[in-house]
Amino acid sequence: MVCRDVVDRLSAFVDDELDPVASREVARHLETCPTCAQALSRHRLLGESVRSNLEYHRAPDLLRARLMRELRDPVRREREPARGVARPWRWLGAAGAAAAVVTVAAGSWLASSLSRERTEDAGVREAVSSHIRSLMANHLTDVASTDQHTVKPWFSGKVDFSPTVTDFAAEEYPLIGGRLDYLQGHPVAALVYMHRKHVINVFVWPQNGPADAITPAVTRQGYHVIHGMHGGMTFWVVSDLNAAELATFAHMLTAPPAPSTP
């Protein structure tokens, strides 16, 4: 089993979700590969940190108000035609219907939220795995260049879109090249930057979504990950650079281009 396969299976290995054969293969590899063993240690440390520092939050006020409104309105509609005549069985029926409405509404909201969270978490895991592979396999770039006008045309014919490539050397985030990668079931452009010897991978591909949206950084296996949308493209920024400086860089990606000098 090679490092790439082991890194992709670390989460399932830690959670004891692999079949016995795969689990033994991963364990054998970890015994002989210090790099993967270090990645496993970071993964376990992250899990312990999440469990010990996990925060619990009350339901958002908007959701609470919506549920209470759904609970009250059907009861009021059932009472109005009664014209003062007590009909407790109808009230109970209305309350049951209201409860059903609340259950469906809450269930739909929860299912939608969980689906978004699972999609987001899967994106984080894939981005981190690809970042680690690029460092471990000595395959950081397919085209090594600090010239954006060299890197951008290189992707022509390799992906069915044209990624925006900008050099931020003036801001101390120089472009060092690009490569073809594969995330979420399709080829993507990987743009590689550097900041004080910290490698930054930016995975880019077309996707509809809110314009210029950037999520706060999350941490997986010791790496910070920021997801954003800009210009009809989604991008995932991954690095071991500290979260504040990585967020600064991510906002550069969504900033309007500087006017060209004549």
Nearby residues of 141 by Cβ (< 8 Å), 6 or more positions away: 176, 177, 178, 179, 192
Q: For 217-232, write each residue's pLDDT tens digit.
A: 999 888 999 999 888 8
Global pTM exceeds 0.85: no
Q: For 10-45, write each residue's pLDDT tens digit.
A: 778 877 777 777 888 888 888 888 888 888 887 777
Strand pairing partners for 192? 177, 201
Short-list 150, 236, 249, CA closest to 194: 249
- Tell me if 30 sits within 8 A of 38, measured CB to CB: no
Distances (CA, A) of 82 to 74, 79, 86, 139: 14, 6, 7, 75
Ordered domains of the chain (ranges, CATH): 3-52 (no CATH), 140-254 (3.30.200)
| CA-atom Rg of the chain in angstroms | 25
Q: List Cβ<8 Å contacts ≥24 apart for 82-91.
A: none
- Tell me if 137 sits within 8 A of 4, measured CB to CB: yes
Q: Is 175 exposed, middle or buried (0-12, 13-18, 19+ CB in 10 A)?
A: buried
- Tell me if 254 sits within 8 A of 212, measured CB to CB: yes
Q: For 75-117, write each residue's pLDDT tens digit.
A: 555 555 544 444 544 544 555 555 555 455 445 444 444 344 4
SS3 call for 256 = coil
